[in-house]
Chains A and B, each alone.
Chain A
Amino acid sequence: GAVVSQHPSWVICKSGTSVKIECRSLDFQATTMFWYRQFPKQSLMLMATSNEGSKATYEQGVEKDKFLINHASLTLSTLTVTSAHPEDSSFYICSGRLAGGPGEQFFGPGTRLTVL
């Protein structure tokens, strides 16, 4: 299957700082990428959908000014958590979807963010 990488795999930061997470589709072009947040023992919660070259579409309740998403190319999307606070600590997962495909999404390995 198609491969998606995420970097970093884990990050610890101080409260008030910003953190950038990169998501790359390594062997396919992802016209659409998705960002999820996952709490322990729960399902994935969709944060936003981004299409290459367009502004991201955020789910209800997700602050777009806090979670900045950039999908600058067909292989790279970034999520920046601005002015991070301890409540932003979570597991963040990205995924990419092939254009014209059957809808399956290929997932990155996730990034564990801890805000002190």
Chain B
Amino acid sequence: AQTVTQSQPEMSVQEAETVTLSCTYDTSESDYYLFWYKQPPSRQMILVIRQEAYKQQNATENRFSVNFQKAAKSFSLKISDSQLGDAAMYFCALYSGNTPLVFGKGTRLSVIA
């Protein structure tokens, strides 16, 4: 069975600072993808970043980057220069074996002005 665990229900960060959201996962598949989705108050799910398991290089999208530790099955999200608009629920998700995405329970991020 595939699982995704987000151990931080809530996090907060000062505006312009950096924050890291944690995610661990488990899968027996060798080929898989990992994602971070953002769900702001509007509740529209937005893809933040994607990582292919076969790539060693960590994915980066502007202020968002990941630390992908394959052996440890860890996939954390780093948000640099945090902005008020980054306040949202963040979900880590796993895809493998042509199955639906498996989501973690989410981390609620607050940004303090």
- Interfacial residues of chain A within 13-58, with CB under 8 A of chain B in the complex: 34, 38, 41-44, 46, 49
Given A34-B100, A44-B91: A102 in contact with B52 (beta carbons within 8 A): yes
A103 to B34, CA, bound (A): 9
How many interface residues does chain A have, given as a range?
Answer: 20 to 34
A91 to B104, CA, bound (A): 18
Given A103-B95, A103-B96: A43 in contact with B44 (beta carbons within 8 A): no
**A95 and B45 within 8 A (CB):** yes
**A44 and B103 within 8 A (CB):** yes
Given A34-B100, A43-B91: A109 in contact with B44 (beta carbons within 8 A): yes
Contact indicator per residue, chain B 2-46, by CB within 8 Å of chain A (1) or not (0): 000000000000000000000000000000010101000011111
Given A43-B91, A43-B106: A103 in contact with B44 (beta carbons within 8 A): no
Instruction: Say whether B105 faces chain A, with CB atoms less than 8 Å apart.
Output: yes
- Interfacial residues of chain B within 38-61, with CB under 8 A of chain A in the complex: 42-47, 50, 52
Q: In the complex, which residues of chain B have a beta carbon less than 8 angstroms from the beta carbon of A104?
A: 33, 35, 47, 50, 95, 101
**A102 and B50 within 8 A (CB):** yes
Q: In the complex, which residues of chain A have a beta carbon less than 8 angstroms from the beta carbon of B35?
A: 104
Q: Which residues of A contact B (CB under 8 A)?
A: 1, 34, 38, 41-44, 46, 49, 91, 93, 95, 102-107, 109-110
Q: Which residues of B contact A (CB under 8 A)?
A: 33, 35, 37, 42-47, 50, 52, 91, 95-96, 98, 100-101, 103-106, 108
